[in-house]
Amino acid sequence: MSVISKNTIIIRNFYTHLKNIRLAAYGFTLRKHDALNSLSIAFNRTNRTQGFMLVPLGKQTLQPLSSQASKVENMQKIPFPLADIGEGITEVEILRWFVKDGQQVKQFDKICEVQSDKATVEITSRYDGVVRDVQYKEGDIAKVGKPLCFIESIAAETMRHVPETIEMSPLANIEKDKENAEVMRDFEKVLATPAVRRIAREHKIDLSKVPGSGSNGRVLKEDILAYIEKQQVPLKEESSSGVSSQEEQRRIEPIRGLRRAMTKTMTASLSVPQLTLGEEVVMDRLIDIRSGLKSTAEKLGVRLTYMPFFIKATSYCLSRFPILNSSVDANCENIIYHRHHNISIAMDTPVGLTVPNIKYVDQKSILEVAKDLQVLMDLAEAGRLGEEQLKDGTFSISNVGVISGTYTAPVVFVPQVAIGAFGRTRMIPVVDSNGHVKTAHVITVSWSADHRIIDGATIARFSKLWKSCIEEPEQLLLYFK
């Protein structure tokens, strides 16, 4: 005997059970399967007082049950391990569960959302069945290859070991249907970004109690911070000694997710000897050109900032100095030149630093680069960057100046060999070619490179060319493809 769906049960040895054909009177549909020599019994789940399921109870019985009856001995608990999601990832953080223990799932239903040190991934079911024994809580670290949970599903092998007699037993309580439905409603997940969920975990807040002001009731960062402020309780009075315990003066937070990735990357980067060079660049002509193009870009649905110009200028300079668009092998014995310019953009996200890249910048216009940049920014803000956006970067840039800072000393993202960083734009006095003093918009750019294969003269020439592209942006038109 085996369950093949919620509504259908197969009885093996069909001809030995012909005497039970009278079961049709109880609302079953009887179908003979010649290939299996079996009988398929389907019942009407809409009629809950006459719905039956076959449930092995030692001596096999035919038991009328509510549609919630799910404990069937010939259903086997199958481990649902965390699969290898590539890029050498060995562990992930559980961001949220889409299911709970006892919930019915189908193939490709979402099970949970996890975050590695490279990307956020949704894990889907590979089976039809019932979720059992969830192994982790949200915020826990799960190892690749270890079970996330178990899924109670039908094993083909169990059909070979089926007793041959069935009997009738009483009707089970069907009132649990309503209770289970209420539990499911309570379990429905609140819409929120991983950053908001992290804040909720840190403050032990039930997100379902936080009013969301975003679209579709999404809980925004401002919502949860306001909720925390309202819920704050005055601190306990200090002890008579006036000294709080050490436990009250510190908080321990595990290094996880993107912060762990940054830890690994920066540690590897500091093993490489690096040189840094800075340059001041006048932005006045680029500001005028961008102002003239901004409204046209907006009509095309594109937000045109200065970054697409910086990125395209970088790509042009890389075509003139291809060694800066290279990497070295593990033993630093070979230089690997990359044909295309996949420029990585360092982004400050709610969950930490991430560095997605725009592919094939060398083949794109400034407008196309602007579109791709906006897509990456939206994905990063939502915590939805995937492996495709994060892998295969060949050169990095960071626009830290949009936050603050004039001078920077960026660290190369190994295995790349160079990186650029832009400080904030300032209005300062400068001396023009005629010796006159005037005010100008000036940005400071800093370049760092792997000094094992790149010398100071090369990075200086690269910087000089980049400076000319920004100060005389019209020349970029000559190199568009």
Which of 431, 420, 426 has its CA nearest to residue 406? Answer: 426
Note the maximum CA span of the chain. Answer: 110
Domains and CATH numbers, the chain: 77-153 (2.40.50.100), 261-478 (3.30.559.10)
Asked if residues 17 and 42 have their Cβ atoms less than 8 Å apart, the reply is: no
Tens of each residue's pLDDT in the chain, 481 residues: 444 444 444 444 433 343 333 333 333 334 433 333 333 333 333 333 333 333 333 333 344 434 444 444 567 888 999 988 766 678 888 989 999 999 999 989 999 998 877 677 889 998 899 999 999 998 888 998 999 999 998 743 333 333 333 333 333 343 444 444 443 333 345 777 767 777 787 777 888 888 888 767 778 877 888 888 777 644 444 444 454 556 567 787 777 777 777 777 788 888 899 999 999 999 999 999 999 999 999 999 999 999 999 999 999 999 999 999 999 998 889 999 999 999 999 998 877 788 999 999 999 999 999 999 999 999 988 878 888 898 999 999 999 998 888 899 999 998 999 999 999 999 999 988 888 999 999 999 999 999 999 999 999 999 999 999 999 998 777 766 6
Amino acid in position 376: L
CA distances from 17 to 30, 33, 59 (A): 11, 13, 15
The span from the CA of 446 to the CA of 421, in Å, is: 5
Residue 91 contacts by C-beta under 8 Å, 6 or more apart in sequence? 116, 141, 142, 143, 144
Over the stretch 359-383, which tens digit does the pLDDT of each residue have? 999 999 999 999 999 999 999 888 7
At residue 476, what are phi and psi to the nearest 5 degrees? Answer: -65, -25
The span from the CA of 341 to the CA of 363, in Å, is: 9
The helix (H) or strand (E) run that includes residue 80 is strand 75-81
Q: Which tokens go with 260?
A: 């762990």
Neighbours of 253 (CB within 10 A): 8
Is 455 in the active site? yes
Q: Which tokens go with 95?
A: 């961001």
Over the stretch 320-344, which tens digit does the pLDDT of each residue have? 999 999 999 988 899 999 999 999 9
| DSSP state string for 147-173 | EEEEEEEE-GGGGGS--S---B-PPPP
Cα first-last separation, the chain: 67
What's 411's DSSP letter?
Answer: -
**pTM recorded for the entire structure:** 0.58
The span from the CA of 147 to the CA of 134, in Å, is: 9
| DSSP state string for 437-479 | EEEEEEEEEEEEEETTT--HHHHHHHHHHHHHHHHSGGGGGGG
Catalytic residue among 378, 392, 432, 455: 455
